[in-house]
Structure 1
Amino acid sequence: MIKNISNKSLQTKIMLMFFVMSVVLTFFLGVAFYKNTYNNYSGFKRTEMITLAKETANKIDRFLFERNADLKVLADSKIFSMDNIPSEAKQSYINNVVKAYNTYDSISLIDDYGSVILTTKIDKNIGISNDILKRIITNESYISDFIYDEKTEKYFLVFSKVIVNKKNKKMGYIVEKMNFASISEIIEGVKIGKTGYAILEKTIESENENQYGNIIIDGHKFIRAIHPIKKYYSQKNGWLVSVIQPYNEAFSIMNDIEKYFFFVIIISIVLLFAFSLLISSQITKPIKNLMNRMSKFTLKNEKYSSSNITSNEIRKLTDSFDILLEELEFMMQRVLEKSGESIYIEEIRKSFDLLFKSMPNGIITVDSKGNIRSINDVALKILDVSEDEFVNKNLYNDFGEKLKNFTKALSISLESDNRINEKICYLTSSKDELIPFVFSTLKQTDFNGNLIGLTVVIRNLEDKRRFEESISRAKKLTELGELSAGVAHEIRNPLASIKGYAQIALYETKENKQLNEDISIILSEVDRLDQLIERFLNFANPNKPNYDYCHINKILKETVEIIGHDFGKKNIYVNFDLDKNDLIEIDYGQIKQVMINIILNSVQAMPKGGNLDISSFYFIGNDMLEIHIKDTGDGIEKDKIEDIFKPFFTTRSSGTGLGLAICSRIIEYHNGVIEVESIKNEGSKFIIKIPARNGVKSDV
């Protein structure tokens, strides 16, 4: 084969050499890229699966901990430890607890011999084996293993705790039989991909915490991550959450990448072959022309025979060819470099133009001589100038008093090594008002460190302040939410006792009509307080967004239809100005709740009627969708604007003050911000900024 190649023409040899080297290099680079992509994706999938298993196990741990805490509240309640409490009152109390928490099949009171004294079950059969009863009456507190009921074909757990009175005398045992409905909801709520799921499994000794790997189920390959559920001291067996997803589904994206990879390799080979053929022909063409000319010269001059050509002459000719090839190679390399640079620069220019137009901040570019080369619309608006007044002007001599301080600072930054960062500057507007803005500078240099120019970023000081306030408010609400969840849970336990005692008092005073009515008011207020706690918990721990592609404009119009059935009678006129790019990933229900709250607030602020302007904008540069809701109502006093998102702050006698606080938490969970601008007696404008996680989606 080597001999056959050596007999081929110079063009064929060059073409084969260039083609083989290019194919080998392309193949190895492609393989390296594929392996790196596969490893990165595998690591991401591992983290995703382990995190999901851990979060699910933590939810179950928290749920069991709360049930154990409920048991402690029941055991410590004086309703069971006092001798003079009627059985009817105790029965009513445990019936109310079972009714309030759907997770309990029954709550029972048993004596030292395991006999049932009171139970919420009608037939007095609490469905607990004698072995479990023995364990209950021999331990002060007990939590069973996960027990399978063959009759119902479902699992359940048993919690128990001893009841003692003030004299430390044992009064019996309080026993909770908890069904798996809530735990099943947690497990069934786990979704990963289209067919991935979670299950509960018994712990195997060889399985460690956060174990991740491949398993075979019914001959099919799956990936699985596990995390153990907390094991209590009285439990024999450990349990764990297992998150499972079919391997083909989990790594379907890698199959697509693999197909794309081989497709690119094949196309690359074809293109490289054509390119090698072109290059080899271009390299050998001058040599062929020279050989033809020499052949013609030899044919016409018989005296120049082969015997007259010395070895030195051949060497000189060879050297000339070497120089020619070197020059040709150098020229080709320069052509390729310049062509690549031209394409690269053109791509950069297009990307920069798009980014420059859509940036939410003001951008100014200055060359090395101080000439202003470009400015975007945001900067023109902040500086209150036109493009003709600014572009192609020089920092050193083309500006008057209005921008003197600003241009002087830029010229100093251009001449020195000092970078300006977030400096405040003032300019006088056309209305003789001082307008503050913030600007930063960044020098641009080439590869050799030579100065190319200056990039200036400016933004409105008020916009910066509002954004920082939104971030600070979101952080405070998060901290308050974490504290609130614990406080609300602690309040709920005493409320159950208050309700129990009130029910006892209601039973004992049924003949006293006035006292009976007073106690009924107490029970009504307890229920109202429990509802308020429920709303507060919704604020403290809102559900994580269930993302799906939704039309923001559709949500806004649906909200107006829900609220605005009588806008005509109230003289309220709605104006829409909506961006067609509105299909982004959000939680439909949560965002609709935000829109209902804010639009309802705007309507309530216009008791005599007015205009309600609703608009949406999508900013391509930073993938941000903004919603503006503006009314012409009463407005908000300046000193109260910062308080409207705080829980329980309200200006209305009938409000709870949680509406806007919950809105702020929902937008925070979408990684967005909510801002408000308001002038007393002129109206308010709410600005909601939601990042488009994966950009907008074409509505095809």
Structure 2
Amino acid sequence: MPSSSVGTLVLAAPPEADALRTRLVWLTVFRTVAVSLSLVAVAARLLLQPVEEPSRVDTLSFAVIGLVYLFTLVYGLMLRGGRADRAAAVLQVVGDLLIASVLVFLTGVGESPFTFLYLLAVIGASILLDGRGALLAAAASALAYALLLVAVKLQWLEPPLAVGDLSRQRLAFLLGSNVLALFLIAALAGYLTRQLSATGGRLSEREADLKKLDTLQRQILANMPSGLITCDESGRVTFVNRAASAILSLEPRLPPGTHLESLLPGALGSEVHLRRRELSVHTPAGMRTLGLTVTGLESGGSGGTLIVFQDLTELRRIEEDLRRADRLAALGTLSAQLAHEIRNPLAAMRGSAQLLVLDSSADPTSAKLVEILLRESDRLSKLVDDFLRFARPPPPVKQVLELEVLVAETVDMLRADPLARNVGVDMVLAPLRVPVDADQLRQVLINILRNAFQATGEGGRVRVTLEAAGEEAWLRIWDSAGSIPAADLSRIFEPFFSTREGGTGLGLSTAYSIVRAHGGNIRVSSSPQEGTEFLIQLPVQG
């Protein structure tokens, strides 16, 4: 696969160039330090052994040191400009050989104490140009040193200092010993360089693997769907992943020293030994039900804690909806059977009462009792009808209509209701065309809105909003009372359950059945701080 191969080559080149640049910089720094020490040594000698005027050697020494500084400056500018390639390395080695040759010539060639500079040049070549470069530098050093000796022997060059005896035997000894030392150092330096390169390569691979693992770990922690929080032994939070911030609606960066109890109250309570449990947490986005797993950590002798959790709020809501639907289905079946059994004898009772009314011989007291019997039988008949509407609501006859118009008309109609007197009503309705049964949905709105008006009373506020949410239309009815106890929220849609005196508990049950028959859902939340909100979710597509 060519594309991946090219990508690998492109990624592999910069580390090698960076490594060569680093070596060049360090060798340049080393040369600068060495030359500076040489300058200090020459200056110290002149100060300790003052003479009337500097000798020729001292003058040449200062000149060579100045040229080296100039060469180092130019070379440093080249490196700064990005010229850190193999040619720059060759140039540095050649420069080192020239400097060594000049110093050896100025200090007596065969008697010079600076012949070790050739060895340093060979070592530098090994570092920059591997083992083959070291051998070439050794050969060039040997050739330069031999040429200096021959040139002085044949008096082609005259060094400033006395050279001493340069007989054939001494010349052969100097050449042999220095050439042997140069090539031995080149071989040793080349071997050590190869070993160092191999070790460095392995370390680079390990470092690259560790970086990949670190990147993979960070990606896993950042993208895992479960929330993850770690804290130290004192409970101070040390890490929060992206999912935890989203679930708890946290700021991207927590203040230093944030305690775990401020994020997950009770997470480290007496039940911490339970590895899996649920915890309800109040967040800026509302109450959340979390499934927690708490695990102790061991790090350097100090224990920390790892908390992994999932947001179970929606799952628990779905489970509650299913349980409610099952209960309502069972109650609906029972209600239908009871209503059927009650309706027939009730009709017979009412018919008999009507016959008693027609009997003119009945005394006034009996007539009054018969009137009470008729009134109560009518009330019972209406209650039976309500039971039947709840138990067997007629299937909705859906028509695609402008839902915002239906909602606005219903709200305007209810403004005349005595319960809505002095209650502020706000509407924010987005235009939406939704398939619904207009009469049934109007009944749902009337039941919920009248409850809201009654709960808020005079001076309260009610807000009705309609918006699109993906494939659904969300109709929210909010009131400022927030008067439904938390213990009653799970039972509010059950039939015959009512907190209002005289209520049958069938209004919200019927509303729930109608919404479910439309393929939607209805939910409620309530608190004195946030008010009460009914959320009706209706599918946009029939």
TM-score norm. by structure 1 comes to: 0.36
Report which structure shows greater RCO (CA 8 Å, sep ≥6): 1
Bigger Rg over Cα: 2
More strand, by proportion: 1
TM-score norm. by structure 2 comes to: 0.45
More helix, by proportion: 2
